[in-house]
Structure 1
């Protein structure tokens, strides 16, 4: 993991460094669904995630990127656990019909719990977000955790992106009291994401990655660059898609 994101092998990872580590991860590992689109199935394990993300230099979805980061945190002495959440779909204004298919990380430090997420598209806090409710600001926007009581969990991540959102919007709800106890749950999530008719990840290839001052997003029909509040969107063909995937996301299609 250190080699992939550019951190010294000898450096001790302290809690105060996690902002830097999360930013390096977001700028390096793309959020992408090519395994689902092209039918490359595998059983999720620590070893298979290492092979996919660290050896093959691929990216992944939340159930791949957050677990590999969880193992990294665990190996560096942090008290962490994986939790499941339900994403809120903004356009229809409803909770995702795919259910509890988002994976995130909870970290305890000095008797306080923090949300860590490296697998929520480009909507990444880039910092630990305290469950106590303090607003966290990063280059991407503002983030906070709000306590709730509903069928999906006990906390909601709320987001206000720079140059985009005027008001807080719901990211997802998660249950801090129901940690993932077995990696087989990740295979279950992947299966749902792969076949569910309302899944947004089983219809077209999608790659996205944060960059300084913005982010880039690639589909099979367009390449969008969002930088400093300005958007440039180009219509592309199949060959251009493959070239951009390799150049900007280091993915061979």
Structure 2
């Protein structure tokens, strides 16, 4: 086992030295989600790390930080490649359900996996909307503790496929995407758009979210929300307290 995988397995509490098979991916993805929050601290600090396996591994495994989709799903891609899976990265465009409009074009990153004759989508960088299992292109829904997810082939001006999710209120569009593979140069373009574009939702105010074993954490500049089972606690965040709460609540 490589040093990268050994360090990752220790970090997430996965069985040391054991190969990850396709059947193991739901457990593996769930463990990743518990360790690496979706957060935009690097954007607000203007810390533009290289989108290489070496730099992303160093940033995520050696520091108390998470990242956005281009960090977390690129890291997932590098890990799955190291594990021997047939994978590539793709770009997508998130649909803003509240505003009923597309967000900044082409600024979501996800992972496509081939297993036998089947194709699947994996995503560990979509906030708390994580399938926590490979989503098949057959259209069959998969269900996890975060809801139900499915792929629908529908041509839009943002891509040929939709990831849809049902959080208990019916199916909604998560994002559109195409299957064209992207590389580190494209990842850098996505990163720079998130850092620099006025339409970016991530370069203005701090935010962080993470799944927990029995709930979720959501932190904004104004509020800290903690859900444990059916219990929901929400408290105000004072100016300057975001980083302290983030470090204390989001990491073991």
The TM-score with structure 2 as length reference comes to 0.93
**Cα RMSD (Å):** 1.5
Deviation at 1:239, TM superposition (A): 4.7
Deviation at 1:150, TM superposition (A): 1.9
2:67 to 55, 60, 63: 60
1:37 to 10, 34, 44: 44
Alignment map for 1:1-253 (pairs within 5 Å): 1-96=8-103, 98-161=104-167, 165-176=168-179, 178-180=180-182, 182-250=183-251
Deviation at 1:91, TM superposition (A): 1.2
Deviation at 1:194, TM superposition (A): 1.2
Partner Cα distance (2:65, 2:241) in 1? 19
List gaps (5 residues or longer) in structure 2.
Answer: 1-7
Deviation at 1:42, TM superposition (A): 2.4
Partner Cα distance (1:185, 1:92) in 2? 27
Moved more, 99-108 or 221-230: 221-230
List gaps (5 residues or longer) in structure 1.
Answer: none
Map Cα deviations across residues 10-30 of structure 1 (whole Å, 9 max, x no partner).
Answer: 101110000000000111111
Deviation at 1:229, TM superposition (A): 4.6
Deviation at 1:131, TM superposition (A): 0.7
How many pairs align?
Answer: 245
> Which of structure 1's runs of 4+ aligned residues deviate more than 4 A?
none
C-alpha contact 2:37 2:209 (8 A) present in aligned 1? yes
